[in-house]
C-alpha cells in the first residue's frame, strides 16, 4: 500500500472488499458479545432466584 | 492403561470443572486472537502488494479462507463431541456440540458472503455454483438441520442425542457430499476453478493469511469457551455448585 | 431371528395393501410435480428433453421423502415400536426390514412409473432402461436416508418439514450421481460410471445406515 487513498479505494475494489470486512467484523463482534451478555443475564437470573429462596 | 492416566479426561465430565477451565482459558485465546488478527490485518491490508490478476480485490481472501476453514473444523468438533457424548454417555460433550453449532453456522455464512463478494468483481455475479461455495452452502444446511433438530425436542437429553446421531451421519456423509459436488462441478464448468490456483501463494500473501487463520482459530476458541460456559450454566442452573460459583 | 424380520416385512406389505390410497399419494405427488415443469416453463420438446433427467430425479427425491414421514409413526403411536426392542432380532435388522418393505411399496412404483414420466418429458426411449436403473438404486438409498430422518423425528409433536430439511442435504450425492447417469444415457454416452457410484453408495448405505436408524429409534423411544 503506498497511500491512504490506495488503502481506502482498494484499487477500485472498495465496494467489495470493505463490505466483506464489515460483515466479518459484524459477525465476529456478535459472536464475541452475545454469549457474554447471555452469561451475565443467566447469572443475574440465578442469583435472583437463589436470593428469593427458591 | 491404568485408571489414573484417564483421570484428566474424566475431570472434564464434571460441569464445575469445565465451567472453571473454560473461564480461565478464554482471556488467553481472546488476547491471542486480537494480536494475531491485528498483525494479519496489517500484513494483509497494508503491507502486502496487490495481486497480479485480481488487484486489491484478492484481499477478501484474508477473511474468506479462515472462515471457510473454521466452518469445517467446527463441524468436526460438533461431530467429535457428539461421538464422545454417545459413546461415553457424557452429557457435557453434548453441551459442547450444541454450543459449537451456531458458531460454526455463523462462520459458514460468513464464508458464503465473503465468497460472494469476492466473486462479483471477478466473475460478474454474486453467486456461482462452484464446488467450494456449493459445498459451503450444503454445510450450512447441515448445521441448520442440527440446530433445528436439537431445539425441536422438549426433552433436552433426547434432543442432544438425536442431534448427535444426525451430526455423525452428516460427518460421514460430508466427504461423499464434497466429492460428489466436485465431480458435478467438473462436469459442468470444465477446468475453470473459481478460486484459481491456490497451489502457488507468494510468501507476502501466505504469512498474513496464516496469521489470520491462527487468529480466527483463537477467536473461535474464545467464543466457543464462552458459549460452553453459558450452555453449562443453563443446564446446571439448579445445581449446588452453581450457587457456590456465583457467590 | 430372520423369521421375525421376514414376518415384519410381510406384515408391512399386507398393511400397505390395505391402505392402498395412503401408499399411492407419494406416487401421485411424483406425477404432479413432474407435470408442473412443462406448465411452469414451456412445453417445448427441446427444453423438456434437456431438463428431463433433473426434473424426474428431483421429483422422485421429493416424493420419496414425503413418503417417509409416516415410516415409524403408527408403530410409535401404538407402542409396537417399543416391542421391536424386545424381540430377539437386532434392531438394525428390523429397521432394514422396515426400510425394505417401505421401498417395495413406495420406491419401486416410482421406478416402474419412470419411463412413462420420461415420455412426458420427451426423454429418449433408448435411455429409459438406464433412467429406471438409476432410480432403482437411488430410491433404495433414499429410503435408507429417509428412515434416519423418520426415526429422528417420529417422537416430535410438530415435526412438519423437519424430515426433508434434515435428509435433503444428505441426499444430494444421490441426486448428483443419479441425474448425471440419466443425463449421460439421454445423450448416448455411457452412464456406467455414475451408476457404479450409485451402487457403491447403496452398498455403503445398507451396511452403515441401519445402525444410525437403530440409534435414532432408541433416542426417540427414550424421549
Give the list of residues 6+ apart from residue C213 with CB closer than 8 angstroms, or none: C92, C95, C96, C99, C144, C147, C148, C151
Q: What is the ipTM of this complex?
A: 0.91
Taking 60 as the threshold, does the pLDDT of residue C199 lie above it? yes
Q: What is the DSSP code (8-state) at residue C19? A: T
| B78-125 residue pLDDT tens | 999 999 999 999 999 999 999 999 999 999 999 999 999 988 888 788
What does the pLDDT look like over B45-63, one tens digit per residue?
A: 888 888 777 778 888 999 9
Cβ contact B145–C173 (<8 Å): no
Distance of alpha carbon A36 from alpha carbon B229, whole angstroms: 9
**Residue A41 to residue B206: CA distance in whole angstroms:** 42
A 6-45 residues inside an 8 A Cβ radius of B: 6-7, 10-13, 15-17, 19-21, 23-24, 27-28, 30-32, 35-36, 38-39, 42-43
User: What residues contact B169, with CB distance under 8 A and at least 6 apart?
Assistant: C148, C170, C209, C212
CB contact under 8 A, C212 and B168: yes
Residues of chain C contacting B, Cβ within 8 Å: 148, 152-153, 155-159, 162, 165-166, 168-170, 172-173, 176-177, 180, 197, 201, 208-209, 212, 215-216, 219-220, 222-223
Cβ atoms < 10 Å from Cβ of C192: 14
Cα B95 to Cα A38, B9, B21, B156: the distances in Å are: 16, 16, 15, 10
CB-CB under 8 Å, C159 with B152: yes
Q: How many CB atoms are closer than 10 A to CB C107? A: 26
Neighbouring CB atoms inside 10 A of C79's CB total 9
Tell me the C-alpha distance between B58 and C174, whole Å: 35
Q: How far apart are CA A23 and CA C18, in angstroms?
A: 57
Q: Which residues of B touch C (CB under 8 A)?
A: 86, 138, 141-142, 144-145, 148-149, 152-155, 157-159, 161-162, 165-166, 168-170, 172-173, 176-177, 179-181, 183-184, 187
The pLDDT of residue C59: 97
Q: Report the mean per-residue pLDDT for chain C.
A: 93
Q: pLDDT digits over C168-193, tens only?
A: 999 999 999 999 999 999 999 999 99
Q: Report how far residue C164's alpha carbon sits from residue C113's, in angstroms, rounded to the nearest whole number.
A: 23
Q: What pLDDT score does B192 carry?
A: 47
Q: Residues C200-203: contacts with CB within 8 Å, 24+ apart?
A: C201/B176, C201/C137, C201/C141, C201/C173, C201/C174, C201/C177, C202/C137, C202/C140, C202/C141
The confidence score (pLDDT) of residue B191 equals 44
Please report residues of C whose CB lies closer than 8 A to that of B89.
Answer: none
Beta-strand ranges (E) seen in B86-189 are none
Question: Per-residue pLDDT for C98 more than 50?
Answer: yes
For chain B, what is the total number of helices (H) and then of strands (E)? 8, 0
Cell reading at B25: 482459558
pLDDT of residue B189: 65
Q: Residue C198: closest CA among chain B residues belongs to which residue?
A: B180
Which cell is C47 given?
A: 427444453
Q: How far apart are CA C33 and CA C26, in angstroms?
A: 10
Report CB contact under 8 Å: C173, B180.
yes
* C-alpha grid cell, residue C8: 415384519
C145 to each of B178, C60, C138, C211, C212, how far by Cα in Å? 17, 14, 11, 12, 9
Confidence of residue C17 (pLDDT cuts 50, 70, 90): confident
Backbone angles phi, psi at B55, to 5 degrees: 60, -140
The pLDDT tens digits for B135-177 are 999 999 999 999 999 999 999 999 999 999 999 999 999 999 9
* pLDDT recorded at residue B190: 52
Q: Which residue of B has its CA nearest to C180?
A: B184
Spatial distance between the Cα atoms of C118 and B240, rounded to a whole number of angstroms: 66
Long-range pairs of B25-31 with CB within 8 A, sequence gap ≥ 24:
B25/B221, B25/B225, B26/B222, B26/B225, B26/B226, B26/B229, B27/B222, B29/B218, B29/B219, B29/B221, B29/B222, B29/B225, B30/A32, B30/B218, B30/B219, B30/B222
Q: Which residue has the cell 426423454?
A: C123
Compare all CA atoms of chain B with the CA of C222 and give the residue at the minimum distance: B158
Per the CB < 8 Å rule, is B162 touching C176?
no
Kindly state the DSSP code that residue B55 receives in the 8-state scheme. B
pLDDT of the residue at C211: 96
Residues of chain C above pLDDT 70, percent: 100
In this predicted structure, what is the pLDDT of residue B114?
Answer: 94
**Residue A7 confidence (pLDDT):** 79
Nearest residue, CB atoms, B177 vs list C172, C220, C223: C172
How far is CA B149 from each of CA B135, C43, C65, C98, C161, rounded to the nearest angstrom? 21, 40, 17, 23, 11
| B1: pLDDT strictly greater than 80 | no
Angle between helices C45-68 and C20-40 (to 10 degrees): 150
CA angle in degrees (0–180, nearest 5) for C137-C139-C144: 100
Q: How far apart are CA C142 and CA C173, in angstroms?
A: 11
Contact present, B56 and B96 (Cβ < 8 Å): no
Chain B nearest CA to C192, separation (Å)? 15
Task: Identify the sign of the CA torsion C85, C87, C90, C93.
Answer: negative
Question: What CA–CA distance (Å, rounded) separates C48 from C121?
Answer: 5
pLDDT class of B241 with cuts at 50, 70, 90: confident
Is there contact between B and A if contact means ≥3 C-beta pairs under 8 Å?
yes
Measured between beta carbons, the chain A residues lying within 8 angstroms of B56 are 6, 10-13, 17
Q: Minimal CA–CA distance to C30: which of C65, C72, C75?
A: C65
Nearest CA to C182 among C139, C135, C142?
C135
C neighbours by CB contacts (3+ pairs under 8 Å): B
- What letter does residue B51 receive in the DSSP assignment? B
Q: Which chains touch A (3 or more CB pairs under 8 A)?
A: B
Q: How far apart are CA C47 and CA C50, in angstroms?
A: 5
The pLDDT tens digits of the residues spanning A8-44 come to: 887 778 888 889 999 999 999 999 999 999 999 988 8
CB spacing of A11 vs B50 below 8 angstroms:
yes
Amino acid at each position: 500500500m503506498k497511500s491512504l487513498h490506495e488503502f481506502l479505494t482498494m484499487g477500485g475494489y472498495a465496494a467489495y472488499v470493505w463490505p466483506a470486512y464489515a460483515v466479518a467484523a459484524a459477525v465476529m463482534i456478535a459472536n464475541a458479545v452475545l454469549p457474554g451478555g447471555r452469561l451475565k443475564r443467566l447469572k443475574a437470573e440465578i442469583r435472583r432466584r437463589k436470593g428469593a429462596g427458591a | 492403561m491404568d485408571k489414573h492416566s484417564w483421570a484428566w479426561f474424566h475431570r472434564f465430565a464434571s460441569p464445575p470443572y469445565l465451567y472453571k477451565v473454560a473461564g480461565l482459558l478464554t482471556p488467553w485465546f481472546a488476547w491471542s486472537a486480537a494480536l494475531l488478527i491485528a498483525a494479519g490485518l496489517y500484513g494483509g491490508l497494508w503491507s502486502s502488494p496487490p495481486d497480479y490478476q485480481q488487484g486489491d480485490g484478492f484481499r477478501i481472501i484474508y477473511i474468506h479462507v479462515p472462515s471457510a476453514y473454521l466452518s469445517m473444523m467446527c463441524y468436526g468438533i460438533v461431530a467429535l463431541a457428539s461421538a464422545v457424548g454417545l459413546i461415553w454417555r457424557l452429557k457435557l460433550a453434548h453441551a459442547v456440540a450444541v454450543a459449537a453449532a451456531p458458531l460454526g453456522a455463523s462462520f459458514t455464512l460468513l464464508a458464503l458472503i465473503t465468497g460472494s463478494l469476492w466473486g462479483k468483481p471477478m466473475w460478474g455475479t454474486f453467486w456461482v455454483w462452484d464446488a467450494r461455495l456449493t459445498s459451503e452452502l450444503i454445510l450450512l444446511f447441515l448445521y441448520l438441520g442440527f440446530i433445528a433438530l436439537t431445539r425441536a425436542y422438549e426433552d433436552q437429553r433426547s434432543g442432544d442425542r438425536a442431534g448427535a446421531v444426525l451430526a455423525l451421519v452428516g460427518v460421514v456423509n460430508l466427504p461423499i457430499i464434497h466429492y460428489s459436488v466436485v465431480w458435478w462441478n467438473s462436469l459442468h464448468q470444465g477446468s475453470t476453478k473459481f478460486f484459481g490456483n491456490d497451489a502457488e501463494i507468494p510468501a507476502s500473501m501466505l504469512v498474513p493469511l496464516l496469521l489470520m487463520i491462527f487468529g480466527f482459530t483463537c477467536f473461535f476458541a474464545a467464543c466457543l469457551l464462552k458459549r460452553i460456559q453459558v450452555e453449562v450454566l443453563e443446564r446446571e442452573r439448579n445445581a449446588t455448585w452453581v450457587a457456590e460459583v456465583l457467590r | 431371528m430372520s423369521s421375525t424380520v421376514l414376518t415384519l416385512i410381510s406384515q408391512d406389505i399386507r398393511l400397505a395393501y390395505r391402505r392402498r390410497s395412503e401408499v399411492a399419494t407419494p406416487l401421485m405427488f411424483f406425477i404432479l410435480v413432474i407435470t408442473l415443469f412443462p406448465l411452469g416453463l414451456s412445453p417445448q420438446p427441446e427444453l423438456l428433453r434437456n431438463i428431463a433427467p433433473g426434473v424426474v430425479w428431483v421429483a422422485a427425491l421429493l416424493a420419496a421423502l414425503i413418503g417417509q414421514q409416516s415410516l415409524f409413526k403408527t408403530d410409535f403411536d401404538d407402542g409396537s415400536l417399543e416391542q421391536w426392542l424386545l424381540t430377539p432380532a437386532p434392531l438394525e435388522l428390523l429397521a432394514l426390514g422396515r426400510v425394505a418393505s417401505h421401498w417395495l411399496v413406495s420406491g419401486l412404483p416410482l421406478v416402474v412409473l419412470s419411463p412413462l414420466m420420461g415420455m412426458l418429458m420427451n426423454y429418449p426411449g433408448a435411455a429409459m432402461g438406464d433412467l429406471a436403473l438409476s432410480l432403482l438404486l437411488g430410491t433404495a438409498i433414499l429410503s435408507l436416508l429417509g428412515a434416519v430422518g423418520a426415526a429422528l423425528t417420529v417422537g416430535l409433536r410438530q415435526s412438519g418439514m423437519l424430515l426433508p430439511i434434515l435428509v435433503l442435504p444428505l441426499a444430494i450425492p444421490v441426486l448428483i450421481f443419479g441425474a448425471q447417469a440419466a443425463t449421460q444415457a439421454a445423450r448416448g454416452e455411457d452412464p456406467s460410471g455414475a451408476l457404479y457410484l450409485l451402487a457403491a453408495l447403496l452398498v455403503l448405505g445398507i451396511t452403515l445406515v441401519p445402525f444410525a436408524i437403530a440409534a435414532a429409534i432408541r433416542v426417540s423411544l427414550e424421549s
